[in-house]
Amino acid sequence: MNTGIRKLGLLVATAALWFVGAAVLMPQMAAANAPQIDPTSCGAGAGPISDYCSFEDTGENVVIAHGSCNVQGACVPLGNGTRIGHDSCNGGLACAGAGTSGGSSSIGNDSCNEREACGSAGEGGSSSIGNGSCNERGACVDAGADGKSSIGNGSCNASFACSGAGASGSSSINNNSCNGEHACDGAGASGGSSSINNNSCNGEHACDGAGTSGGSSSIGNGSCNEDYACYQAAYDGGRSKIGNRSCNAEANPGICNNVGANGGSSVIGNNKWN
C-alpha cells in the first residue's frame, strides 16, 4: 500500500472516530438542564423576564421557585447552578450577581428580600443561605465572594448584618444568629475564619469583624448577644474561642470585644461574663 492510500485510510478512520465521539457528546450536550423558572417569578409576566432575571452564561441548572425575583434587576445576572427558593430575592439588585464568576449560590425560602440583600453572594466562591435569612438592605451582600460562606435559618436579618461574611475567607453562621445591624459584618473575611453557632451574636456590631484579616474565631451557642459584645474578636491574625452562653453582659456589653485580636489568643469557657 502506498503512502497516499495509507493517509487516506487514516483520515477516514479519524473521521469515523470523530463522528462516533460527536454522537456520544451531542446527547450529553442536549441533556444540559435549562433554567427552571416558576411562572410566578422573574416578573410573573409583568415585563420581559430579562428585566428581572438574566444569566451570566447559559443559566444551566438554575432553579427559581415561586414568587421570587419579582423586582426589576433583582436577579440580573445569575451564575450557572444558582438555586433560589420561594418568595426570595424580591428587591432591587437583591440577588444580582449571585454565583457568578464560576462561583455557586444557594438561597432558601423567604430570604434575601430587600435591596442588595444578597447581591454577589458566592461570586467566585461559595454561598449557602437558609430559610428566612438575610432580609434587609445589604444583609448578606458579598457573602462568600471569592471565599466560602454558610448561613443557616433565621439569621442575618438586619441591615448589613452579614455583609462580606467569608469574602476571601471562610464563615459559618448557624441558625437564629447575627440578627442586628452589622452584627457579623465581615466575619471570617480577608483570609480569616469564623464559626458562629446557634442563637449567637444578636446585637448591633455584636460580632462585627470576628476572625477577619487572617484571624480565627469560634463562638458557641447562645453567646455574644449584646451590642458590640464580641466585636472584632480574633481580628487581625488573632485566635479566639468563646464557649456557650458567654459574653452576654448587659451592664458591660463590650467586655469580650477584641478578645484575641491583633495576633493575640483568648479562650473563654461556658457561662462566662454574663
| Cβ contact 272:246 at 8 Å | yes
Positions in the chain short of pLDDT 70: 1-32, 251-253
Phi/psi region, residue 110 (left: phi>0; alpha: psi -120 to 50; beta: rest), is: left
Phi and psi torsions of 205, nearest 5°: 55, 25
Q: Write down the pTM of the prediction.
A: 0.88
- How high is the pLDDT of residue 251? 64
* Residues in CB range of 207: below 8 A, 6 or more apart: 178, 183, 184, 187, 194, 196, 200, 201, 217, 219, 224, 229, 230, 231, 233
Distance CA 149, CA 111 (A): 15
- How high is the pLDDT of residue 211? 97
Characterize 148-160 residue by residue with b for buried, 16 or more Cβ atoms within 10 angstroms of its Cβ, and e for exposed.
bbbbbbbbbbbbb
Counts for the chain of helices (H) and strands (E), in that order: 1, 13
Cell digits of residue 88 = 426570595
Cell digits of residue 84 = 433560589
- How high is the pLDDT of residue 254? 73
- How high is the pLDDT of residue 32? 66
- Chain centroid to CA 132: how far? 14
Alpha-carbon torsion (64, 69, 72, 74), positive or negative: negative
- How high is the pLDDT of residue 177? 99
- How high is the pLDDT of residue 253? 67
Distance CA 133, CA 23 (A): 46
- Neighbour-count burial of 31, counting CB atoms closer than 10 A to its CB (0-12 exposed, 13-18 middle, 19+ buried): exposed
